[in-house]
Amino acid sequence: MFAIAVHGGAGALSRRDTSAEQEQAYRAGLSEALDAGYAMLERGAASLDAAIAAVCVLEDNPLFNAGRGAVLTRDGAAELDASVMDGRTLKAGAVTGLKHVKNPIALARRVMDHSPHVMLVGAGAEEFARLQGVELVSNEYFRTEVRQAQLHRLLDGSAEKENDLVAFGTVGAVALDADGNVTGKKLFHDVTDLVGEKSPGLPDGLTVASDGTIFTSAPGGILVLSKEGKRLGRINDGKPTANCKFGDDGKTLYLTSKDMLARIRLNVTGVGF
């Protein structure tokens, strides 16, 4: 027995602002990713290989918030991340702050398999990509006209369509191979108690400080976690916060939500600053 599941991002596109043609295109993109992963499982591939193959298809499809077509930063650049876990061994690999790696999920796999690290960030991650022979592209490759127009509307205050402000969650895949191995089954931090509070939002984007402190979107705002996954605190904004990222001098945390772009000064510095 083997199986695979994919998703095109957390949140939901507004039915009102999504045409039948657009919905068909999204469904076709998901089907293509599903078929790519399933075909590998049929040939006896490991679950991890199948899941990565599926995510690569989504990263290459400009409709989804991953790779080409990813949501842009405030300065108009694409900064990408990805993570992967082997459910059999519980080994993991992750990358963040990428600007030139065509398929971030492939580099996350290389971090897991060919380095002593769990996460690599920014310039160091891209140097590792170069040494590993991973395909690099210009940042312009990732920046689509749709995402640039969304950013311009958000920055000039004219974003009215719901689809401009939500559904910024990235993609994912999980697979079960014929040997019973599953990708990604270790729980790092449980936010079930916050969901029970009926706070808006779900876990999605994250960023890391130089001391290892993790800032991640969660119900009601941003959770602050230790590098071991212990909850240290929460930044409450009462919004379905989609993502967070360090900017400026590295001590400013930017937050994006359904109808808000906010920034907070912190006493820690983001990785790479």
163's tokens: 């689809």
CA gap 154, 251 in Å, rounded: 23
CA gap 220, 150 in Å, rounded: 24
Q: What CA–CA distances, in Å, run from 74 to 13, 78, 233?
A: 22, 9, 26
Query: Is 170 annotated as catalytic?
Result: yes
> Residue 269: how many CB atoms within 10 A of its CB?
15
Do 2 and 40 form a contact (C-beta atoms < 8 A)?
A: no
Q: Which of 96, 170, 216, 241 is catalytic?
A: 170
From 179, 188, 48, 208, select the one nearest 119 (Cα to Cα). 208
Q: Which residues are catalytic?
A: 170
